[in-house]
Amino acid sequence: MSNIPSFGLGTFRLQGQVVVDSVRNGLELGYRCIDTAQIYGNEAEVGQGIAESGVARDALFLTTKIWVDNYARARLIPSLKDSLAKLRTDHVDLTLIHWPAPDNGVALDEFMSALAEAKAAGLTRQIGISNFNIELTKQAISAVGKSEIATNQIELSPYLQNRKLVEFLQGQDIHVTSYMTLAYGKVLKDPVIGAIADRHRATPAQVALAWALQLGYSVIPSSTKRENLCSNLLAQSLQLTEEDMAQIAALERNGREVSPAGLAPVWD
Q: Is residue 39 part of a domain?
A: yes
Q: Is residue 265 part of a domain?
A: no
Q: Is residue 152 part of a domain?
A: yes
Q: For residue 142, what is the domain's CATH number?
A: 3.20.20.100
pLDDT per residue as tens digits for the range 152-204 = 999 999 999 999 999 999 999 999 999 999 999 999 999 999 999 999 999 99
pLDDT value of position 149? 98
Q: How much is the mean pLDDT over the chain? A: 97
Q: Domain residues for 13? A: 9-185+217-236
Q: Is residue 267 part of a domain?
A: no
Number of domains in the chain: 1
pLDDT value of position 2? 65
Phi, psi of 147 (to 5 degrees): -70, -15
Distance, in Å, from the CA atom of 224 to the CA atom of 82, rounded to the nearest integer, reads 26
The single residue of 31, 40, 71, 217 carrying the catalytic annotation is 40
Q: Is residue 102 part of a domain?
A: yes
pLDDT value of position 268? 94
* Amino acid making up residue 165: L
Distance, in Å, from the CA atom of 87 to the CA atom of 75, rounded to the nearest integer, reads 18
Q: CB of 138 within 8 A of CB of 160?
A: no
Q: CB of 63 within 8 A of CB of 33?
A: yes
User: What angle, rounded to 10 degrees, do the helices at 43-53 and 73-87 form?
Assistant: 30
Q: CB of 137 within 8 A of CB of 174?
A: yes
Specify whether 217 is catalytic.
no
What helix, strand, coil percent values describe the chain, rounded to 5? 50, 15, 35
Distance, in Å, from the CA atom of 243 to the CA atom of 266, rounded to the nearest integer, reads 33
User: What angle, rounded to 10 degrees, do the helices at 16-29 and 226-233 form?
Assistant: 40
In 131-248, DSSP assigns E strands to: 149-155, 175-179, 218-219
Q: Is residue 192 part of a domain?
A: no
- Helices first, then strands: H and E counts in the chain: 10, 8
Q: Is residue 191 part of a domain?
A: no
Mean pLDDT, 10 residues at a time, over the chain (268 residues)? 88 96 97 98 98 96 98 98 98 98 95 98 98 98 97 98 98 98 97 98 98 98 96 98 98 97 96
Rg, Å, the chain Cα set: 18
Q: Is residue 36 part of a domain?
A: yes
